[in-house]
Amino acid sequence: MAKVVLVEACSHSPFLFLKPEQWNEIRAARPPAPRNPEMSEEDNLLQHARCMAAFAELGKRLDEAKPDVLIVFGDDQSEQFDFNNFPPFAIFTGDEYEGYRTLARQGIVPGTSREWAPKTKESWVTVKGHPELAKELLLGLSRRDFDVSFMMDLPNKEHGMGHAFMRPLHYIRPAFDVPVVPVFVNCYYGPQPTAMRCYQFGRAIREVIEASPLDARVAVLGSGGLWHTPGMPDSWIDEAFDEATLAAVRSGDAKGMAERFDAAGAEPPPEYADAAKTRWIDGGTGMYAGIGGGTGETRNWIVAAAVADGRRGTVVDYVPVYASPCGMGFAYWDMS
């Protein structure tokens, strides 16, 4: 029988894959964010070191768990899906996929028009899928009233698999030698699934895994978050929001995490009337459906937490990187 042996969650901000000496230069090129404290280069070096130490701890835990397969919950930011078709949930069922290990574009300013990075062995990698488990998830979820899309290959092979599924492994499994089942959760583009639906989704995935006849040790990773809207005018970090999320990790209360997320996004924020800010909230669709922007990736934490529901998690670290700004979170749940 298949068994969940470890659940992890972490941020995947591009700042984590750049030199901290570049952070303030990038901050200067973005819209003003007066609510964030200014950070010195020394501050940035210390914050970067904390993030790297947290990744190292997650990598150590993953190594010790000895998984046969890793399920990654991540969002697609128009890397494979577009407005012709954008499902709330989808699963990759193919044998393998390719993608950039970290940053797909050359240059130091994320979000600007830059050349594609060369596809060398240092920047581009092939990752094995796990079709058997992926198909079991797809069928098992459909029997539990989830209508999940699937892809047997990448529609956009030139871009490769989205960054949410690639970047964390660069640090926690740099050999990319564990088969991965990418599970897509729409976090950016309204209407996104509610956090409560994400909670139910994670619980159902746990049920499917534990009912599977596969002899497999399964690890799970929620990729993204926490609070960040780095390109939005007057961007900031709601540290209280993030701390509530992390408190739910520590207490094993995935449902409470989902309830707070949905309550916080029940009504459009005042900024929704500002055309310059709207696309950071609903992804440019004109359909508000809860917290969007990078903060919407907290949904991936909620799905992961739901897989571990009832288990108390460990927060490895939380680093509010004001230069981005992004609340960088790192956590795990020991399922042994």
Condensed to tens digits (0 to 9), the pLDDT of residues 203-212 reads 999 999 999 9
Q: Is 36 left (phi over 0), alpha (psi -120 to 50) or beta?
A: beta
**DSSP secondary structure code for residue 293 in this structure:** T
Q: Alpha helix locations (H) across 212-289?
A: 239-251, 254-264, 275-282
Rg (CA), the chain: 18
CB atoms within 10 A of CB 29: 12
pLDDT for res 28: 86
314-321/326-334 β-pairing: antiparallel
Q: How far is CA 319 from the centre of its chain?
A: 16
Q: Is 177 exposed, middle or buried (0-12, 13-18, 19+ CB in 10 A)?
A: exposed
pLDDT for res 271: 74
pLDDT for res 32: 78
Residue 258's nearest CA partner among 219, 299, 202, 289 is 299
pLDDT for res 8: 99
- The contacts of residue 203 (CB under 8 Å, 6+ apart) are 306, 307, 309
pLDDT for res 106: 76
DSSP labels, 38-81: P--HHHHHHHHHHHHHHHHHHHHHHHHH--SEEEEEE--SSSS-
- Ranges of residues in the chain whose predicted pLDDT is under 70: 108-113, 275-276
CB atoms within 10 A of CB 307: 25
pLDDT in tens, 4-36: 999 999 999 999 999 999 999 988 888 778 888
pLDDT for res 232: 77
Euclidean distance between CA atoms 39 and 24, whole angstroms: 8
Euclidean distance between CA atoms 56 and 48, whole angstroms: 12
pLDDT in tens, 203-245: 999 999 999 999 999 999 999 999 998 777 778 899 999 999 9
3-10/96-100 β-pairing: unpaired
Q: Domains (ranges, CATH) in the chain?
A: 3-334 (3.40.830.10)
Euclidean distance between CA atoms 260 and 203, whole angstroms: 18
